[in-house]
């Protein structure tokens, strides 16, 4: 069997990234080769989360020992995707023992995925474990789903916290009466008082546009369990002991400051998907927000959300040896570097566009968007490249999610960029994945305001205030 990386040869090349090797193509080519060989053996991956729920993914690898390098490469990228889609403190590998041992060694404190080992253990507050079993012994799936948001009654505040800007909206009976977007710099702050004061300032300003405040709903990058901040990039500058003492219960304490009104904070990706489901009037929606990083959320075909992480900023989409390395996780080719303003900045250099490093992140992005609006072909190539990434990335996600709609929003989609992204992603679908072109619809929010503050408005619908 050929080298796993060399199986990924895109028919639609991103203009500024000739080395791009889409993971989805590598996976599909690998599986096709295994099945044609007649030597397929089962590989079953189980993931257990803190509440006892279990996800299960069934696939195959080659039973030919000569194909073991490709088996290991394929299996490791599948586990990586599943960890950041589903989450789990325990990974159960059912299949060839060599595969299980490779995953255990890789996802260990001394392995190349030590970041994932530590992160998952911290999220679920249990030691991260890889268990090796026979394929038949992987437990059956035990998934749970719950309704999310869609509450419109009353005077509500919604907020969305990004790494370069914070958004807030005042909403009365489902209609926004005020919205605001303010640049800020949370990741470089060591004192969580900064975060508290900035968020409270936004909430108080929104409150001034309504006769009262019945509830507050918010979204932010990171992992939130029962309003507790488990892990979040916004607080990366805060020392661990201060984080545990003052950040984990930040929103619980904030609720007390608002007289214990209904107050709910969830991952920003979930609100992205919720916004899409509400605007489309349909379900089976994957929401992808291209902001300071990549935020992803999923609304199931029955209109609920799962207990999954959906932190696809850390999930791989490119297997090229020259793929960029994420400075936080240390992994190559992950979504944060392809579906965000980070991708714009990375590609600007390839396009020959010099950026003003004295500008903040939001203003730096605007400077490139202004070039795009003026007809600069170099800037256009940036968005065309991200659009190609998006087409192959969504095709990869479709192997793990049941999809009817994908909503694309966030700061990077503003102006002409959004339509370019959709056009190039559709070209990838029509060229490489015609079955997806027939099944999955790609959407942008209808208007510019919805693209930029839609998540804050949707977040306002999170808490239930019904008596």
Query: Tens digits of per-residue pLDDT, 313-339?
Result: 999 999 999 999 999 999 999 999 999
Query: Tens digits of per-residue pLDDT, 144-172?
Result: 887 878 898 999 999 999 888 899 999 99
In this prediction, residues 201-226 reach a mean pLDDT of 94
Q: How far apart are CA 112 and CA 333, in angstroms?
A: 14
**Predicted pLDDT of residue 148:** 79
Q: How far apart are CA 394 and CA 400, in angstroms?
A: 10
- Relative to beta strand 145-147, strand 304-306 is antiparallel
Q: Are 308 and 429 in contact (CB under 8 A)?
A: no
Q: Which of 7-16, 215-224, 255-264, 273-282 has the lowest mean pLDDT?
A: 273-282
Locus of tokens 């050929």: 2
Higher pLDDT, 39 or 267: 39
Locus of tokens 């390098």: 69
- The candidate with the shortest Cα–Cα distance to 297, out of 122, 455, 141, is 455
Q: Which of 115-119, 269-273, 440-444 has the lowest mean pLDDT?
A: 269-273
Q: State yes or no: pLDDT of 219 exceeds 80.
A: yes
Provide φ and ψ at 399, rounded to 5°.
Answer: -75, -10
Q: How far apart are CA 333 and CA 89, in angstroms?
A: 23
Each residue of 89-124: b (16+ CB within 10 Å) or e?
bbbbbbbbeebbebbbebbeeebebebbbebbeebb
**Predicted pLDDT of residue 360:** 87
**Strongest mean pLDDT among 196-205, 408-417, 456-465:** 196-205
Q: Which of 236-240, 252-256, 428-432 has the lowest mean pLDDT?
A: 236-240
Q: How far apart are CA 382 and CA 68, in angstroms?
A: 37
Q: How far apart are CA 213 and CA 197, in angstroms?
A: 19
Q: Are 218 and 161 in contact (CB under 8 A)?
A: yes
- The candidate with the shortest Cα–Cα distance to 236, out of 269, 293, 290, 190, is 190
Q: How far is CA 192 from CA 167, 238, 260, in A?
A: 18, 7, 21
Query: Tens digits of per-residue pLDDT, 417-451?
Result: 999 999 999 999 999 999 999 999 999 887 655 55
For the chain, state the CA radius of gyration: 22
**Predicted pLDDT of residue 111:** 98
For the chain, list the domains and their CATH numbers.
Answer: 39-143 (no CATH), 144-467 (3.30.420.40)
Token pair, residue 2, equals 């050929």
* pTM metric for this prediction: 0.87
Q: State yes or no: pLDDT of 467 exceeds 60.
A: no
Query: Tens digits of per-residue pLDDT, 347-384?
Result: 999 999 999 999 988 899 999 999 999 999 999 999 99
**Predicted pLDDT of residue 466:** 66
Q: How far apart are CA 239 and CA 381, in angstroms?
A: 40
Q: Are 47 and 92 in contact (CB under 8 A)?
A: yes
């Amino acid at each position: 069997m050929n080298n796993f990386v060399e199986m990924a040869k895109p028919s639609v090349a991103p203009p500024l990234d000739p080395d791009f090797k889409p993971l989805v193509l590598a996976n599909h080519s690998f599986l096709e080769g295994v099945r044609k060989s007649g030597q397929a053996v089962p590989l079953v991956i189980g993931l257990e989360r803190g509440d006892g729920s279990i996800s299960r993914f069934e696939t195959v690898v080659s039973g030919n020992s000569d194909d073991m390098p490709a088996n290991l490469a394929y299996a490791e990228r599948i586990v990586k995707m599943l960890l950041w889609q589903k989450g789990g403190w325990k990974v159960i590998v059912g299949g060839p023992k060599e595969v299980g041992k490779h995953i255990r060694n890789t996802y260990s404190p001394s392995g190349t995925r030590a970041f994932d080992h530590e992160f998952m253990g911290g999220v679920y507050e249990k030691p991260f474990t890889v268990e090796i079993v026979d394929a038949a012994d992987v437990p059956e799936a035990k998934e749970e789903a719950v309704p999310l948001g869609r509450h419109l009654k009353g005077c509500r505040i919604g907020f969305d916290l990004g790494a370069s800007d914070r958004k807030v909206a005042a909403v009365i009976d489902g209609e926004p009466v005020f919205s605001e977007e303010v640049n800020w710099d949370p990741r470089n702050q060591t004192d969580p008082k900064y975060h508290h004061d900035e968020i409270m300032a936004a909430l108080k300003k929104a409150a001034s546009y309504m006769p009262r405040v019945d509830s507050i709903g918010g979204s932010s990058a990171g992992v939130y369990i029962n309003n507790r901040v488990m892990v979040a990039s916004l607080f990366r500058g805060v020392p661990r002991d201060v984080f545990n003492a003052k950040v984990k219960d930040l929103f619980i304490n904030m609720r007390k400051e608002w007289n214990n009104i209904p107050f709910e904070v969830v991952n920003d990706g979930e609100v992205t998907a919720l916004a899409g489901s509400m605007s489309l009037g349909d379900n089976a929606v994957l929401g992808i927000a291209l902001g300071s990083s990549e935020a992803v959320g999923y609304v199931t075909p029955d209109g609920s959300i799962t207990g999954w992480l959906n932190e696809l900023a850390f999930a791989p989409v490119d297997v090229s040896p020259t793929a960029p390395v994420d400075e936080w996780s240390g992994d190559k080719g992950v979504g944060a570097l392809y579906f965000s303003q980070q991708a714009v900045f990375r590609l600007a250099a390839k396009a020959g566009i010099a950026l003003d490093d004295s500008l903040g992140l939001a203003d730096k992005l605007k400077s490139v968007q202004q070039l795009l609006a003026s007809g600069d072909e170099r800037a256009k190539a940036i968005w065309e490249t991200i659009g190609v990434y998006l087409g192959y990335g969504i095709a990869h996600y479709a192997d793990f999610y049941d999809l009817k709609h994908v909503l694309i929003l966030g700061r990077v989609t503003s102006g002409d960029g959004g339509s370019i992204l959709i056009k190039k992603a559709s070209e990838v679908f029509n060229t490489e994945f015609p079955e997806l072109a027939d099944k999955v619809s790609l959407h942008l929010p209808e208007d510019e305001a919805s693209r930029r503050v839609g998540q804050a408005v949707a977040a306002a619908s999170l808490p239930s205030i019904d008596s």
